[in-house]
Structure 1
Amino acid sequence: MEGYKVIFHINESEKRSTVLANVNNLIKDLGRDNVIVEIVANGYAVIDYVLEDNEYNETINKMTSTYKLGVRFIACRNSLVGNKVDEESLLSFVTVVPSGVSELIKKQSEGYAYIKP
């Protein structure tokens, strides 16, 4: 695929809505087939990837619809451990990597634009 590659970094839950809006606006502007997007959560923001009691609230619905646009959601294992979050409790489409910071570095070395709202 020729196009844009972007990695969004979130480590604050308060920025969740902003990140999702930014990602959806980006896809709307550039076109779904012209951009590869990942959202990497570390720190306390990994809490946002937890599916509690199978209850789909508004945020989970927004994340699910964003995932359906082809966006990858990534969680930092170090942050999951640090926040005592069981990987089994994550939304089904979340990918866990050993280190969120390492993922950011790897993606930037592959030419991904780095955005931290």
Structure 2
Amino acid sequence: MKTFALAGLLAITATFAMAEGVNHKVAVHVDENDPQVMNMALNNVGNLISYYAEQGDTVTVEVVTYGPGLMMLVEGESPVADRIAAMTLANDGLTFAACANTLAGMEKKAGHDIPLMSEATVVPSGVVQLITLQEDGYAYVRP
């Protein structure tokens, strides 16, 4: 009898867990100043958000940019600025991280501040951010 009761309890618990949905966590890596790569990354993000929504799940996505990929978040220079603005407004769980190391190097070379889009959050290091997210259970995607 105990075995049947335990099996029933586990089945009920699994059913409730599925009904509540799952929150997936994904880190997307962009380190190229290539509009095609940036658009592919945003396509991946849009597709996975849609897929998990259809499953009744949610997803938290952080797009991490560094090196030449930081251009994705530079105000007035990003070839995907309109998509980033629209996607961020439509998806509460979507964030964009900008590497402070890369930004400092760009500003030193340019001799002035480099403005980032309002959607960007500056993190100390893009590489460290990717590691931290993976250690926190984020899946890793590189388009």
Question: Structure 2: which 5+ residue stretches go unaligned?
Answer: 1-20
Question: Structure 1: which 5+ residue stretches go unaligned?
Answer: none
Which residue pairs with 1:115 in the alignment?
A: 141
Question: Counterparts of 1:81 and 1:72 in 2: how far apart (Å)?
Answer: 21
8 Å contact from structure 1 (residues 44, 83) kept in 2: no
Aligned residues: CA RMSD: 2.2
Secondary structure of the 1:111 match is coil
TM-score, structure 1 normalization:
0.87
Deviation at 1:58, TM superposition (A): 6.6
Which residue pairs with 2:29 in the alignment?
A: 9
Question: Counterparts of 2:49 and 2:79 in 1: how far apart (Å)?
Answer: 20
Q: Which has the higher contact order (CA 8 A, sep 6+)?
A: 1
8 Å contact from structure 2 (residues 22, 57) kept in 1: no
Question: Counterparts of 1:58 and 1:83 in 2: how far apart (Å)?
Answer: 18
Q: Which stretch shifts more, 96-105 or 26-35?
A: 26-35
Aligned residues: 113
Structure that is richer in helix per residue = 2
1:45 equivalent to 2:69? Answer yes
1:34 equivalent to 2:55? Answer no
TM-score, structure 2 normalization:
0.72
